Amino acid sequence: MRFATTAYYSLLTSFCLVSPVVSKSTLPDLLAQVTTAFADAKVVPDVLSNFTPSAAVNIHFTDPDTGLQLDPAPGQYLTMDQTSGDPTYTLIAVNGTSDPRAFGPLVLVMTDPDAPTPQNRTDGEIIHFLGGNFTLGEGDKDTTLTNGTVAFHRYWMPRPQNGSDPHRYILLVYPQPEDFDAQVEAYFADVPVIFYLENRSKFSLRNFVSQLKLGEPIAGNFFKVGPNGNVLTTTVSSAAAVTGPSANPTVTPLTAAAQGHRGVAAMEAGSVMKILGLSMAMSLFATVGLA
């Protein structure tokens, strides 16, 4: 995995954040590595029946402690703290003629199939992000994906329960069908609003894709997160150097200092408590385990 990760970045940094279109000889190599990572981590068949991407999607976090930009290669480990803030996304495609759908509008969905643990996935999948109307930025060199409407499910930070092995957080990109907003509202209409957490848990991506006729994903990526203190952390690149050479991924033990940040979790808890009331929310958190 270390060799594959380094090779991924040698390809990625040669064109990422430079142009939304790349040579046809470069992108297939990158897509082959993503496809292999999906198979090795059993994303196929656990979440998808098959995966044949035509574009590459990248996930970008900002480390709250260092201010460095983190660009995980497929399957890399990050910490709960490193993934606490809203990510941004970039998309790389082959010259438009390969798959013009890559230029949008697009649906992005991120799920965790490993709740409450990878060995006992009874609460999975958990929706960690669901939004539509994403398009590439203006200009030939802007690979940023921007959504023109509010996400149906805003980004929810990973928080696997204590004692769990690391979870997979899988991002997939689909062409957006017509009338998507109305369709997604109808799909979740039977879930009472008061059950805030249940509206995200026990989600079936396969059923969702089938019901909304999304077809096959055109791009995908994933990273892994375990409970703070139980996993390794990967430092990738700094925000100041995103257009230049990126540092090779390095793996270092998670320090105790990295375990103190729970800002986003606290905000999420506050949102739930406003809906359910303090005592009911605390009971619900204990039951679900904050996957």
Give the angle 185-210-181 at the CA atoms, nearest 5°. Answer: 25
DSSP string for 73-132: PTTEEE-TTTTSSPPEEEEEESTTTT-GGGGS-EEEEEEE-S-SBTTB-TTPPEEEEEEE
Task: Please say if the pLDDT value at position 242 is more than 50.
Answer: no
Strand partners of residue 149: none
The more confident residue out of 83 and 284 is: 83
What are the counts of helices (DSSP H) followed by strands (DSSP E) for the chain? 7, 11
Query: Which pTM value belongs to this model?
Result: 0.72
Contact predicate 15/22, CB 8 Å: yes
- Phi, psi of 9, rounded to the nearest 5 degrees: -70, -30
Looking at residue 254, the DSSP 8-state letter turns out to be P
Tokens of 182: 């109305």
In this prediction, residue 123 carries a pLDDT of 87
The reported pLDDT for the residue numbered 49 is 94
Q: Which residue has the higher pLDDT, 243 or 9?
A: 9
Structure tokens of 174? 């689909």
Angle between helices 263-276 and 278-288 (to 10 degrees): 120
Which residues, 6 or more positions from 237, have their beta carbon under 8 angstroms from its beta carbon? Answer: 13, 68, 69, 70, 71, 246, 247
String of DSSP letters for 6-27? HHHHHHHTTTTTT-SB--TTTH
Q: What is the mean pLDDT of residues 38-55?
A: 95
Instruction: Please give the pLDDT value at position 224.
Output: 97
Instruction: Identify the sign of the CA torsion 22, 180, 126, 208.
Output: negative
Least confidently predicted of 9-23, 84-98, 157-171, 255-269: 255-269
Q: CA–CA separation, 162 vs 229, rounded Å?
A: 9
204 pLDDT tier (thresholds 50, 70, 90): very high
The helix or strand, by DSSP H or E, that contains position 279, with its residue range, turns out to be helix 278-288
Please, how many CA atoms are within 13 Å of residue 104, restricted to the half-sphere of its CB? 21
Closest CA to 81 of 256, 252, 204: 256
> pLDDT by residue (tens digit) across 208-239?
999 999 999 999 999 999 987 554 444 443 33
The confidence score (pLDDT) of residue 141 equals 64
Q: Look up residue 75 and give its two tokens.
A: 């399957």
* φ, ψ for residue 290, nearest 5 deg: 50, 60
Domains of the chain: 2-260 (3.90.280.10)
